[in-house]
Amino acid sequence: MAAEVDGPLKRVLVPLLLPEKCYDQIFVQWDLLHVPCLKILLSKGLGLGIVAGSLLVKLPQVFKILGAKSAEGLSLQSVMLELVALTGTMVYSITNNFPFSSWGEALFLMLQTITIAFLVLHYRGQTVKGVAFLVCYALVLLVLLSPLTPQAVVTLLQASNMPSVVVGRLLQAATNYRNGHTGQLSAITVFLLFGGSLARIFTSIQETGDPLMAGTFVVSSLCNGLIAAQVLFYWNAKAPHKKKKQ
């Protein structure tokens, strides 16, 4: 009976959440306090949870823009810089063969961020420019993922993530401060991004051992924390209604 249960359980956990040696350590030898294997299990579980959550993390922002038919309060420059950072993380991780659980959310967040960028342009009356942007971005991404792009360029792109994240978040923070409210910025999205970036510090250290990746998430957490603090500070502040022209 134990063997019958062990088979399906092992197929689920190995290698998705645990290497085989850790499965044996925990579930065969019943060493439930084996710290190195527990760290792997926690990191993999958190990583896959973040990837799964990223499928929905920016949808509240998308729906809020669509519902209001406005992107007021969102900084286009901030959105673009966030897109640069996400693209850098994704391309760098793919070229270095990092586990999908350590970077997969960058793919889904990138798709949602592109959508937000297009909507911002669309509701500013620049739909054609938005379509051109989508086409150009797709072409740039293909080039970055192709053998034409040297590894040094990919590493430089990842290194540029820190200033991109900082400048992008400061632009959004400045927009919030100048407006005296957060406009159509989604609180749900902001807090999910803050929590996800905090968890990624641990998973990037555990799964990749790459200081560049870990450092990026430390900076991202600090910047996301600033925006989260502004959301709380301006919680009851409302955007003034624009008077219709006579």
Residue 175 belongs to a domain with what CATH number?
1.20.1280.290
Residues 61 and 80 in one domain: yes
Query: How many C-beta atoms lie closer than 10 Å to residue 159's C-beta?
Result: 15
Residue 179: domain span: 151-235
- Is residue 128 scored above 70 in pLDDT? yes
Residues 140 and 194 in one domain: no
49-63, 78-92, 145-159: which range is least confident on average? Answer: 49-63
Residues 95 and 114 in one domain: yes
d(CA 175, CA 205): 33
Query: How many C-beta atoms lie closer than 10 Å to residue 10's C-beta?
Result: 15
Residues 38 and 86 in one domain: no
42-46, 86-90, 125-129, 138-142: which range is least confident on average? Answer: 42-46
Encoded tokens for 108: 């889904």
pLDDT, tens digit (0-9, with 9 covering 90-100), for 168-221: 889 999 989 998 988 888 888 899 889 989 988 988 888 888 888 888 889 999
Residues 228 and 168 in one domain: yes
The DSSP code sequence of the chain is: -HHHHHHHHHHHHTTTTS-HHHHIIIIIS--TT-HHHHHHHHHHHHHHHHHHHHTTTTHHHHHHHHHHT--TT--HHHHHHHHHHHHHHHHHHHHTT--GGGTHHHHHHHHHHHHHHHHHHHTTT-HHHHHHHHHHHHHHHHHHTSTTS-HHHHHHHHHTHHHHHHHHHHHHHHHHHHHTS-TT--HHHHHHHHHHHHHHHHHHHHHT--HHHHHHHHHHHHHHHHHHHHHHHTTT--PPPPPPP-
At 246 the pLDDT is 40
pLDDT, tens digit (0-9, with 9 covering 90-100), for 157-176: 888 888 888 898 899 999 89
pLDDT band, very low/low/confident/very high, at 240 (cuts 50, 70, 90): low
- Is residue 7 scored above 80 in pLDDT? no
- Is residue 5 scored above 60 in pLDDT? no
- Is residue 3 scored above 50 in pLDDT? no
pLDDT band, very low/low/confident/very high, at 242 (cuts 50, 70, 90): low
At 1 the pLDDT is 42
- Is residue 2 scored above 80 in pLDDT? no
Give me the number of domains the chain comprises: 3
The pTM assigned to this predicted structure is 0.74
Encoded tokens for 15: 């290698």
At 63 the pLDDT is 93
pLDDT band, very low/low/confident/very high, at 52 (cuts 50, 70, 90): confident
Asked, for residue 2, whether it belongs to a domain, the answer is no
**Which one has a higher pLDDT value, 28 or 109?**
109
For the segment 24-43, the average pLDDT, to the nearest whole number, is: 85
Residues 105 and 115 in one domain: yes
At 32 the pLDDT is 82
Mean pLDDT of the chain: 87
Residues 64 and 141 in one domain: yes
